[in-house]
Amino acid sequence: MKIHSVDVFIVDLPTVRPHQLAMHTIVTQTIVVARLKDDEGREGWSEVATIGGASYGESTPEAIKVNIDRYITPIVIGKEPVHFDKIMYEVSKHVRGNYFAKALIEAAIIDLAARAKEVPAYELFGGKIHSSLPVAWTLASGDTEKDIEEAKELLGQRRHNIFKLKIGKGDPNKNVEHVLKINSAVGNEARITVDVNQAWDEDTANYCIAALQDGGISMVEQPLPTWNHEGMARLTSRFRVPIMADEAANTVQDVFQIAKHRAGNSIALKVCKAGGLTQTKKVAAIAEGSGLGLYGGTMIESSLGTAICAQLYSTLPELKFGTELFGPLLFKDNLTLNNITYENFEIVIPDGPGFGMEVDKEKLKHYTRE
């Protein structure tokens, strides 16, 4: 069984409400979908998401597609999917960086390999340890009363009891006040965390984190720009509230340096930024070996990409901060015939074959860019 063809689709999927980050507000999320076919007619599918073109990271959807079509596809054609580590090693020798493109192609190869064996993809990574994982929700209306109302409603539905607030945009003092009001309203029943998405300088981080820590906030994500490892290390030693690296924690090399210099005491995993599932497991091993807490992060993938991340995260022994795999709940529509299940504050890990999602080809066609 050999890989016969690779097709890459750029898809724009509308969200149910604007989703505000420091660098971009998502109203339509651009995702990239790959389809691999083998010479026996089987299909393997995968997805990575991007945020705001080039505003969140260096991998744009257009670059992901062109780099796969031009440079990666010729390397994978004719190869046996079950040898995905060997294939990706060969890709790494010819293609530098391009982690999102590598993650996309590797996941499609793994989906194909698992489907050929008629097993869930997590079985190729030692099997799942967890059948479900805690899942955070992001409160992002920007209005304190609305956010409190939404949090209470989701607590009542037993959908989420971890809430993240994106506070990189606007006046830091007002944002801190907003977070603390939400924490006093629902903090007894829920854990409140914040994500600054690199927006503060160290002075701002010092007074804002002091206030957040005193107010009982349970984690502060990427307060400083990715380059400021020394500043992150100072914040980590200064405060007892956990400081998480996200945009700074991509590859195994990045995470080793973060662990070595304690530039954060926890990291957010993302399959796309590490360059694939195998690499994400290696990143998790570095964190485990150095005592960094883990968080199962998202780039806000739809159901297919969420299933890929969820299956991989389910094979990790401990995710101290749970996951934020809420992506499918933010979209108006779905590219798969089945969907992800959320219950009892957790995401249920989809079972196979492959990553367990069946692509809705009509929907894919409808949302694919011309």
- Whole-number minimum distance, CB 146 to Mg ion, in Å? 22
Q: How far is the CB of 150 from Mg ion (least distance, A)?
A: 20
CB closer to Mg ion, 67 vs 298: 298
Distance CA 235, CA 224 (A): 10
Q: How far is the CB of 346 from Mg ion (least distance, A)?
A: 20
Q: Taking CB under 5 A as the rule, does residue 324 contact Mg ion?
A: no
Residues 218-237 that bind Mg ion (CB under 5 A): 221
- Min dist CB 264 to Mg ion, Å, is 12
Active-site annotation holds for 270:
no
Contacts to Mg ion from residues 166-205, by CB under 5 A: 195
Which tokens is 145 given? 């009363």
246 binding Mg ion? (CB under 5 A):
yes
Question: What is the contact mask toward Mg ion in residues 342 to 361, using x (rule: CB under 5 A)?
Answer: --------------------
DSSP run (H or E) holding 137: strand 137-139
Question: How far, in Å, CA of 161 to CA of 179, rounded?
Answer: 15
Q: Please report, as residue ranges, which positions from 49 to 68 form the binding site for Mg ion (by CB under 5 A).
A: none
Q: From CA 270, how far away is CA 173, in angstroms rounded? A: 30
* Comparison of 21 and 108: residue with beta carbon closer to Mg ion: 21
Residue matched to tokens 């807490």: 293
Number of residues this chain uses to bind Mg ion (CB under 5 A)? 3
Residue 221 or 254 having the CB closest to Mg ion: 221
Stretch that binds Mg ion, among 104-112, 123-131, 217-225, 286-294 (CB under 5 A): 217-225
Given 65, 102, 128, 166, the catalytic residue: 166
Task: Tell me the window of 225-233, 243-251, 301-309, 332-340 that interacts with Mg ion (CB under 5 A).
Answer: 243-251
Question: Least distance (Å) from Mg ion to the CB of residue 99?
Answer: 16
CB 272 within 8 A of CB 48: yes
CB of 72 to Mg ion, least distance (A): 27
Cα(96)–Cα(74) distance, rounded to whole angstroms? 15
Whichever of 38 and 301 has its CB closer to Mg ion, that residue is: 301
Peptide bond into 353 cis (omega under 30): yes
Nearer to Mg ion (CB atom), residue 120 or residue 327: 327
Stretch that binds Mg ion, among 40-48, 230-238, 239-247, 284-292 (CB under 5 A): 239-247
In sequence order, which residues have a C-beta less than 8 Å from that of residue 123 and are 6 or more positions away?
114, 117, 352
C-beta closer to Mg ion: residue 50 or 336: 50
Should residue 150 be labelled a site residue for Mg ion when binding is judged by CB under 5 A? Answer: no
* Sheet strands (E) in 74-131: none
Alpha helices in 172-270 (DSSP H): 172-186, 202-214, 229-238, 252-261
Q: Which region among 59-67, 88-96, 241-249, 277-285 touches Mg ion (by CB under 5 A)? A: 241-249
Least spacing, CB of residue 324 vs Mg ion, in Å = 8
Of 47 and 195, which has the nearer Cβ to Mg ion? 195
* Closest-approach residue to Mg ion (CB): 246
Positions marked active-site: 166
By CB under 5 A, name the binding residues for Mg ion. Answer: 195, 221, 246
